[in-house]
């Protein structure tokens, strides 16, 4: 597959759930080795999300994509990347992924960049409670490297397998 299959949805989580998550993410304990993606040199800090959260994300993605999905992993993440790390996460266990931006400075360059033919093609800016869903073959990178503001961002990421 070439090109993009990207969905962007603001106000993705209901307000109460979103605020509960937003209040707890700064206090979670994040680890650099909690999730490993083979062949991706991507330093990131994460904490496994609760089963309830992964089910909510999976169910919402199934409705949007009109596909039956299985969760590979779902994690809260803390990111402060200062260099582009362009990669795709396509594997036999991951055909789709979602990121839900939870807490951070609203900024075009704090979100995710998507690449086509080796060039940055599309910016999705950071906005709290914005979800971005894409096919895992799509090359992408956190955009923090492009921002003058190097503050961290908190998100939830989930990798999904089509079943």
| Each residue's pLDDT tens digit, 53-65 | 999 999 999 999 9
Q: What pLDDT shows up at residue 149?
A: 79
152/77 Cα distance (integer angstroms): 10
pLDDT, tens only, 87-109: 888 889 999 999 999 999 888 78
- In angstroms, the CA 4 to CA 50 distance is 30
Tell me how far apart the terminal alpha carbons of the chain are, to the nearest angstrom.
18
Instruction: Note down the domain range covering 76.
Output: 6-26+44-162
Question: Would you say residue 33 lies in a domain?
Answer: no
Does 86 fall in a domain?
Answer: yes
Please report whether residue 79 resides in a domain: yes
Is residue 157 in some structural domain? yes
Read off the pTM: 0.92
Domains identified in the chain, total number: 1
3 versus 144: the higher-pLDDT residue is: 144
Say if 39 falls within a structural domain. Answer: no
Q: What rounded mean pLDDT belongs to the chain?
A: 89
Q: Is residue 38 part of a domain?
A: no
pLDDT band at 45 (very low <50, low <70, confident <90, very high): confident
Backbone angles phi, psi at 122, to 5 degrees: -140, 130
Pairwise CA distance, residues 152 & 92, whole Å? 31
Q: Residue 126: inside a domain, yes or no?
A: yes
Percent of residues, the chain, with pLDDT higher than 70: 90
Banded model confidence at residue 3, pLDDT cuts 50, 70, 90: low
125-152 confidence digits (pLDDT tens):
999 999 999 999 999 998 887 788 778 8
Residue 21 Cα distances to 15, 40, 42, 50, 67, angstroms:
10, 27, 24, 11, 26
* Confidence grade of residue 81 (pLDDT, cut at 50, 70, 90): low
Give the model's confidence band at 124: pLDDT under 50 very low, under 70 low, under 90 confident, else very high: very high
Q: What is the CATH number of the domain that holds 103?
A: 2.60.120.620
- Specify the pLDDT at position 71: 97
Q: Is residue 32 part of a domain?
A: no
Read off the pLDDT band of 34 (50, 70, 90): low
């Amino acid at each position: 597959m070439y090109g993009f299959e990207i969905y962007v949805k603001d106000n993705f989580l209901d307000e109460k759930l979103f605020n509960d998550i937003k209040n707890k993410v700064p206090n979670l304990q994040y680890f650099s080795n909690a999730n490993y993606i083979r062949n991706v040199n991507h330093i990131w800090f994460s904490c496994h999300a609760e089963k309830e959260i992964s089910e909510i994300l999976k169910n919402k993605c199934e409705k949007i994509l009109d596909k039956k999905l299985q969760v590979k992993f779902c994690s809260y993440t803390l990111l402060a990347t200062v260099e582009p790390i362009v990669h795709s996460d396509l594997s036999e266990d991951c055909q789709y992924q979602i990121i839900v931006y939870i807490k951070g400075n609203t900024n075009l360059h704090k979100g995710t960049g998507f690449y086509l033919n080796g060039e940055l093609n599309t910016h999705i800016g950071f906005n709290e409670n914005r979800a971005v869903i894409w096919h895992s073959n799509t090359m992408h990178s956190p955009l923090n490297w492009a921002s003058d503001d190097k503050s961290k961002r908190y998100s939830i990421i989930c990798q999904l397998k089509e079943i």
